[in-house]
Amino acid sequence: MNMNYRRALICFFISTLLLSALMSGCTLPGGGKRDETPKIEMIVENPLPVKRTDEFVVLKIALLKEIAPDFSEDMFIVLQVGSDQEIPYQVDDMNNDGELDEIAMIMDMEPGEQKQLVIRYAPSDSPENRSVRIGYEKRTRAAMHPEYGGIGWESELAAYRIYPDYRNSISVFGKQVLGLSLDKFAASDKGFNKLEPWGVNVLDGGKSLGCGGFGIWHNGRLMKPESSRLGDGVASYTRIASDGPIRSAVQVIHDNWRVGDQTLRVTATYSIFAGQRWTRTEVKVEGANNPVKIAAGLMKSKAAKLIRDDKDGLFYTWGEQSHRDTPDNLGMAVIYPTESFDSFHDDRDSGAYLTVLNPGADNEIAYWSLAAWSSGEIGLRREKQFTELTSSIARRLKHPLTVTIMPVELPPVEGEQQETN
């Protein structure tokens, strides 16, 4: 079934149940009027005086159900009030419990703009309710290919892959043009280290952390999920958490990770949104009886200089550090929550620049990393461009769009006396 036909079919189902309610005077199945259509209203605001393109919003389904208990994640549509413009979205099971738990959306926002959105849905107990998804343009991808020895994720602007073993390092595919390319890299007859029209492998993380990899910081050393001499080494598992049009995410679970006298289970979720170069890395540590520190970093190179900005919580490298036959410019950055910062290290043992973070009592922490190559139509040619990009991304990530969900107005019960002023 091609995308256009699928989208038309899904839109037909949606329109049968919901979109008819958007037409004045039309009725829903059973005679429901527009004002009787179940809905959740919200205000989304851009707190920054800058224009934001493809900005993300993530809603927890559990929160929506607290406000509207009959909300169904199987059939709904998100619209901008006033224009009835459709907001692209997808629904994901991010914690791997078999239940959909997050709605990811993207939208453009003018400086300081407020948007009023409405989610119109078919109630969970509606006989017409059925699981359907609208086929938005696919702008992200997550994939596993043996050809590049790991699991990858990408947007149209950037692609990453990880060696999910003792290396736990992140490599970078450089793109020359906008588009999804993970499958092309795997299928190329030349291999991913030879330049193709869509790009080339520009950084092999190897045994270092690569671009934004992590380890556990213990007794002044970076600990990776390496095998034990006694044979009870780490078992690592991978899964694709999401492969959607708006967001793609992969997970790597490291079980039986020995650190000191603790045996840990560490889950790392790497996600990327449409229109973005950055990866969000969320690390969750289970089984710790003592505080655990997470060290996130960048591979060191003699050809690249290090720039740090402790105030804004970022550091980056820029220079001819790509792993091509003739190295060209590559920028890499890590952005972190300043409130979690512990220390910074130029670590000779691991060959990486490291920021050590304190996850807190729940032993969970999130940080971001990104890379930008200098070649092709979408390349960044100068260090100044990468500096401005990194600073802009850091600012936007630390001032996300705010969402205010409005109280649901329940329809009056038939026969109930109404209050009058």
Nearest one of 420, 115, 408, 165 to 268, comparing CA atoms: 165
pLDDT given for residue 407 in this prediction: 85
pLDDT given for residue 144 in this prediction: 94
CA distances from 24 to 13, 50, 116 (A): 19, 36, 19
Is 75 in contact with 121 (CB distance < 8 Å)? yes
Nearest one of 364, 337, 299 to 163, comparing CA atoms: 299
pLDDT given for residue 195 in this prediction: 92
Q: What phi, psi does 16 have (nearest 5°)?
A: -60, -40
Is 142 in contact with 153 (CB distance < 8 Å)? yes
Kindly report, as residue ranges, where domains of CATH 2.70.98 are found in the chain. 140-377
Residue range 140-377 forms a domain whose CATH class is mainly beta
pLDDT given for residue 305 in this prediction: 95
Q: What secondary structure letter does DSSP report for 18?
A: T
pLDDT given for residue 232 in this prediction: 62
Kindly report, as residue ranges, where domains of CATH 2.60.40.1180 are found in the chain. 36-136
Q: What phi, psi does 5 have (nearest 5°)?
A: -70, -45
Whole-prediction pTM: 0.89
d(CA 339, CA 253): 26
pLDDT given for residue 421 in this prediction: 39
pLDDT given for residue 27 in this prediction: 37
pLDDT given for residue 252 in this prediction: 96
Give the pLDDT of the chain (421 residues) as one tens digit per residue.
444 444 444 445 445 544 444 433 333 333 444 456 799 999 999 999 999 999 999 999 999 999 999 999 988 999 999 988 999 999 999 988 999 999 999 999 999 999 999 999 988 766 555 555 567 999 999 999 988 888 999 999 999 999 888 889 999 999 999 999 999 999 988 888 899 999 999 999 988 999 999 999 999 999 999 754 445 678 899 999 999 999 999 999 999 999 988 999 999 999 999 999 999 999 999 999 888 999 999 999 999 999 999 999 999 999 999 999 999 999 999 999 999 999 999 999 999 999 999 998 899 999 999 999 999 999 999 999 999 999 999 999 999 999 999 987 655 555 544 444 3
pLDDT given for residue 133 in this prediction: 59
d(CA 337, CA 171): 23
What's the CATH number for 36-136?
Answer: 2.60.40.1180
∠ CA 166-169-173, rounded to 5°: 140
E strand or H helix that includes residue 373? strand 364-373
E strand or H helix that includes residue 16? helix 3-17
